[in-house]
Amino acid sequence: MRTFLRKLNKIFSSGSDTSTATVPDETVISDTIYNNYSFVIGSIFNYFNELPEEEKKRFVTRVYRFKESKKFHFIGLEHHDDTAILVSASAVQVTFGLKNYLLSHFNDIYVLADAYRMDDDEELYIGHVAPEGIYLSWKHFLYGYSNNCDNINVAVHEMAHALLYNNFFAQYGIDSHFRMNYERFSSSTGPILADVITNRRSYLRSYAFSNLHEFWAVSVEAFFVNPQGLKDNMAELYGALCKVLNQDPLTPCKILKSEP
């Protein structure tokens, strides 16, 4: 665990920049692409299936643009376009309420067949974010979207880390509203975090209490895996996440304000 925390600190300790880039949703996709993507995404994303038709179009367009902007590396499994579509969809799910959703700092996404080790570390990882890329175990990716009861979804978890990294430590694709709202989020959720650390009991899984970054990623995970459960058990945290991500997964449209 100590090695892991050291790595995390290393990951989150590089310089920051406040320049902003706006990414318009202008790309028009063909019906063939739309139908193919909808079929693939709809096969495992309930979130997507609940969207009204217009929002489905916006979602698929974002997934297409996200996927086209990244280089996917497959380690221990075959290169498959559907895999890249689904991994892109998990990023778009987390950032659907935000204007800048491309996580532009990250050019490379590594999909590994199963859990993996880093360097000479004995610990097994199912995903992590480093300045050079986003890493995910495909086996655990699928598990995250097949089970709604345990609040575990590695893709959502890592995309939440990547979103934070992109907005506070990277140079491109910063979403100024997200930055401002995240600062509000961390000050408003400070007492919640302090309370769960003191009492060591919470609806959130215990990994959330490792540090602030994990609290954020585990909260976002619970927010998307079982929104009703999080709302029932930690209403204040649920409301704070709705604000910072500009969406409410319990509503069919998801988005709160169309122009955040």
**Minimum distance from residue 154 beta carbon to Zn ion (Å):** 9
Least distance CB 162 / Zn ion (angstroms) = 10
In this complex, which beta carbon is closest to Zn ion, that of residue 57 or of residue 139? 139
Q: Is residue 89 a contact point for Zn ion (CB under 5 A)?
A: no
Site size with Zn ion, rule: CB under 5 A: 2
CA distance 49 to 79: 26
Residue for token digits 């319990």?
A: 250
Taking phi first (over 0 means left), then psi (-120 to 50 degrees means alpha), and beta for anything else, what does residue 61 get? Answer: alpha
Residue nearest to Zn ion (CB): 217
CB of 8 to Zn ion, least distance (A): 7
Q: Is 214 left (phi over 0), alpha (psi -120 to 50) or beta?
A: alpha
- Please report, as residue ranges, which positions from 16 to 45 form the binding site for Zn ion (by CB under 5 A): none
As measured in angstroms, the least distance from the Cβ of 127 to Zn ion is 8
Q: E strands within the chain?
A: 71-75, 108-112, 127-130, 133-137
Minimum CB distance to Zn ion smaller for 40 or for 130: 130
**Binding marks (x or -) toward Zn ion, 198..237, rule CB under 5 A?**
----------------x--x--------------------
Q: Which is nearer to Zn ion, 65 or 161 (CB)?
A: 161
- Map residue 201 onto helix, strand or coil: coil
Q: Rounded to whole angstroms, what are the CA distances from 141 to 85, 104, 135, 146, 176?
A: 13, 22, 11, 9, 29
Q: Please say which residue, 170 or 217, places its beta carbon nearer to Zn ion.
A: 217
Burial of 27 per CB tally in 10 Å (0-12, 13-18, 19+): exposed
Q: Which of 128, 35, 141 is nearest to 93 (CA)?
A: 141
Query: Cβ closer to Zn ion: 175 or 214?
Result: 214
User: Whole-number minimum distance, CB 70 to Zn ion, in Å?
Assistant: 20
- Binding region for Zn ion (CB under 5 A): 214, 217
